Structure 1
Amino acid sequence: MQFETPNGPVTFDIHHLVVAGWTGRDQDKVQHHIDELAAIGVAPPSQVPLFYRTSANLVQQSDHLEVLGAGTSGEVEPLVIHAKGALWLGLGSDHTDRPLEAHSVAASKQACAKPVADMLWPMDEVKDHLDDLELHCDIRENGAWVTYQTGTLSSIRPLADLVTAYDLPDGGAMLCGTLGAIGGVREGEAYRMRLTDPVLKREITLEYAMTTLPVIA
């Protein structure tokens, strides 16, 4: 895959993808969310955080996503790539099949492609102010854009801790967790996301629309 960086384009072969779940830094909020999901039939995680290995070919640089049936939804997440001996920070969406999630979270992660932005920052450039970086996601509902998620990386476990805990290999990519959904988790017609660095005055953006494929039997 090819990415733009502040120092020019780079090309990486991504052959390992993992989705980190339950990565909130406030453990009371994490437990509250676990309890909420348990009430609707989603099994609690075996450990916190939990790392879901998924197919590397789910990573896509695309502005259009095809999904099977209603009920899927995206989540804005920091993306960490370990490539050529260095760590890079980007932006991605852990698009997930929510009805399937009630049966198996792991299967729900595997069911949808994971759109990622085509821009990366060297981790060394942001590691001293990671908690200040801002995540934001809008969704389009009934033709209008509404704020769906917003916050800073200070609400997510330190990214270096997640990478170390999983031992992310060279050629690996990790989606590192997300923020609470304003108004509840739900499907959108399209997604518009950004990762903003208020210190270095720059941002990474990601936008994609969805086509829902019919479920037939």
Structure 2
Amino acid sequence: MQFFHGDTPLDCPVEQVIVAGWTGRDKDAVDHHIQELAELGIAPPSQTPLFYRVSENCLVQTSHIQVLGKASSGEAEPLLLQSDGEVWLGLASDHTDRELEAISVAASKQACPKPVSNQLWRFKDVADHLDDLILRCQIEEGGEWVPYQEGPLARILPLGSLIEKSKFSNNSAMLCGTLPAIGSIRPARSYRMELFDPHLKRTIRLEYKVEELPIIV
């Protein structure tokens, strides 16, 4: 993978990938998300937040992913990377197999590629206004783009606290949790995501399409 800060290439090798779950700052919002997943047959977490591990090759930089079956969906999430002691902030999609999630959340996190942005911001450049950053996701339905997620990072646990609580270290990447879906958690063929900084007037974008592969029995 290749990352950039503006036009400057970055050397950010990834040897460990963490997927933080149940990271909502508002307990009521977390309970709502747990209820959403319970309706899909997914057991509640043992504690919040939780830090799952997936293999480093789950992270991809592509405009097209392939998934098995029709039961997966993406989620816009802040992405943290650490290289040579410097922490960077980007954007990722925690694309997850929802049917497998009902059996094992850890396995469902490993089952799908997770697209990530190639643009990164220095964490220290946004640290004083992280809560004001806006996370957005749209999905394509019926040939139109519709809102799927939107809100400030103030609705997610402080990213600094996730760094402290997890085993986030040099050459690590961490997907930091997400916002509740607008409507319901559901599959889509195309996703548009962005992380917007209203203070510095800049945006990181991520867009990809999903190809569903048939389940052969």
Match of 1:176 in 2: 176
How far did residue 47 of structure 1 move?
Answer: 1.0
Match of 2:62 in 1: 62
Match of 1:109 in 2: 109
Structure 1 residues 171 and 138, CA gap change in structure 2 (3 angstroms): same
Question: Any conservation in 1 of the 2:12–2:82 contact (CA below 8 Å)?
Answer: no
Structure 1 residues 103 and 14, CA gap change in structure 2 (3 angstroms): same
Q: Counterparts in 2 of 1:7-156, with a 5 A limit?
A: 8-156=8-156
What SS does the aligned partner of 2:108 have?
helix
Distance (Å, rounded) in 2 between the aligned partners of 1:22 and 1:29: 10
Structure 1 residues 40 and 147, CA gap change in structure 2 (3 angstroms): closer
Structure 1 residues 35 and 147, CA gap change in structure 2 (3 angstroms): closer
How far did residue 165 of structure 1 move?
Answer: 0.3
Match of 1:165 in 2: 165
Identity of aligned residues (%): 56
The size of the alignment, in residue pairs, is 217
Match of 1:195 in 2: 195
Distance (Å, rounded) in 2 between the aligned partners of 1:167 and 1:103: 25
Deviates more, 1:38-47 or 1:207-216: 38-47
Letter in 1 for 2:186: R
Distance (Å, rounded) in 1 between the aligned partners of 2:126 and 2:7: 15
Distance (Å, rounded) in 2 between the aligned partners of 1:78 and 1:54: 16
What SS does the aligned partner of 2:215 have?
coil
Query: TM-score, length-normalised on structure 2?
Result: 0.97
- Cα RMSD between the aligned structures? 1.1
CA deviation string 1:68-87 (max 9, x = no partner): 00010000000000111110
How far did residue 7 of structure 1 move?
Answer: 6.7
Question: Any conservation in 1 of the 2:36–2:184 contact (CA below 8 Å)?
Answer: no
Name structure 1 gaps, 5 residues minimum: none
Structure 1 residues 143 and 7, CA gap change in structure 2 (3 angstroms): closer
Deviates more, 1:182-191 or 1:32-41: 32-41
Query: TM-score, length-normalised on structure 1?
Result: 0.97
Distance (Å, rounded) in 2 between the aligned partners of 1:17 and 1:108: 14
Structure 1 residues 155 and 60, CA gap change in structure 2 (3 angstroms): same
Distance (Å, rounded) in 2 between the aligned partners of 1:207 and 1:17: 21
Match of 2:208 in 1: 208
CA deviation string 1:152-210 (max 9, x = no partner): 10000000100110030210000000011111000111000000001001000000001
CA deviation string 1:26-76 (max 9, x = no partner): 012212332443354211111100011011110001000000000100000
